[in-house]
Amino acid sequence: MQKAKLVAAAVVAATAALSMPAHAGKTLDAIKARDAVVCGVNTGLAGFSAADSKGEWNGLDVDICKAVAAATLGDANKVKYVPLTAQQRFTALQSGEIDMLSRNTTFTLSRDASLGLHVTGVTYYDGQGFMVPTKTKMKSAKQLKNQTVCVQSGTTTEKNLTDFSKANKLNIKPVVFEDFNASVAAFFAGRCIAYTTDASGLASIRNKEAKDPKDYTILPELISKEPLGPMVRRGDDEWFAIVKWTIHGLLESEELGITKANVEAMKNDPSPAIGRILGSKDDTGKLLGLDAAWMARAIAATGNYGEIFERNVGPKSPLGLPRGTNNLWNNGGLMYGYPLR
């Protein structure tokens, strides 16, 4: 009898805890006090994070920052962008200079376990590739035996290149640069026969830097797995949850057909799943220390994940990247949004 009473009390306590609003957490408190999310981004990678001639930031990584700002502050424009090099990015997050890092960063065990940072969710599945002048007539990365390859230091790219060279006995000669722009300039100046980075980055570089993109070929092999996405500091589970669930909300909204254009109309949809996301049927925001309309604002600001992808890097964008593995799980890809319930 006593055991049954204890179990019943535990169930009641658990149910009550689930219905209670969550505390916002110290990071969100600081964000609200300054009225801006400070987001670390790439210094300039077209399609992911780059400032235009007016100084306005655009790209897939930038849109994630905007979605988080809309969810937390009600305004996608309340973001302070901090451009960071590969060497600067983790220190900036660890030190508290930025609230989140949304900068084409690969999730690895060592980064997750040793930097005091949390990986949140994958926003782009990528893989490392190689770009060569079309005139070389190379068709495979395995033709790079004894050749020079430009690569940026302080990245997973550098180690992957070494591993690929050793595994295939290619004796590739890395030409290493600390600065991204210097490495790109060296490749186009002919100091290396090839350039290596994530395949999405190669497409961005070719589109932005080459006088004629057709003069350069991205070789077909991918030599690594590069799951990219935002990171936050450890020690603030509330903020970690907000960023993580904003990403999953963008994915889930695409699956459910909620778009930037129809988000207001969809608030009247009878679907319980749609009602939970948009706050019209269930207040999921209170579990994150936010209000009921948090995810509706994010979608209204940036569109769902598919819209973000198509606008910034998809086939109709200047980068022209196929959806591929970044398609939803029910459309042949790896993108799987956790249920917002």
Q: In angstroms, rounded to a whole number, what is the distance separating the alpha carbons of residues 50 and 57?
A: 5
Q: What angle do CA 339, 75, 307 make, to 5 degrees?
A: 50
- Cα-based torsion angle of the residue sequence 50, 51, 53, 56 in order, rounded to the nearest 10 degrees: 140
Contact 47, 200 (CB under 8 A): yes
**DSSP labels for 251-267?**
HHHHHHT--TTTHHHHT
Q: What is the CA radius of gyration of the chain?
A: 22
Residue 128, by phi and psi: left (phi above 0), alpha (psi -120 to 50) or beta? beta
Contact 221, 160 (CB under 8 A): no
- Find all residues with CB under 8 Å of 317, minimum gap 6, and list them: 47, 310, 311
- Find all residues with CB under 8 Å of 227, minimum gap 6, and list them: 106, 107, 122, 124, 125, 126
| Domains identified in the chain and CATH numbers | 21-125+228-329 (3.40.190.10), 128-224 (3.40.190.10)
Question: Residue 326 CB: number of other CB atoms within 10 A?
Answer: 22
pLDDT of res. 156: 86
Q: Is 122 exposed, middle or buried (0-12, 13-18, 19+ CB in 10 A)?
A: buried
Long-range contacts of 264-272 (CB under 8 A, 24+ apart): 264/300, 267/296
- Find all residues with CB under 8 Å of 196, minimum gap 6, and list them: 128, 129, 130, 131, 149, 150, 151, 157, 160, 161
Q: Do the bridges between strand 117-119 and strand 216-218 make them parallel or antiparallel, or are there none, so unpaired?
A: unpaired
Give, for all 341 residues of the chain, the pLDDT tens digit: 454 444 444 444 444 444 455 566 899 999 999 999 999 999 999 999 999 999 999 999 999 999 999 999 999 999 999 999 999 999 999 999 999 999 999 999 999 999 999 999 999 999 999 999 999 999 999 999 999 999 998 888 999 999 999 999 999 999 999 888 999 999 999 999 999 999 999 999 999 999 999 999 999 999 999 999 999 999 999 999 999 999 999 999 999 999 999 999 999 999 999 999 999 988 999 999 999 999 999 999 999 999 999 999 999 999 999 999 999 999 999 999 999 99
pLDDT of res. 21: 53
Q: What is the 3-state secondary structure (H, E, C) of 282-306?
A: CCCHHHCCCCCCHHHHHHHHHCCHH
Q: In angstroms, rounded to a whole number, what is the distance separating the alpha carbons of residues 181 and 198?
A: 15
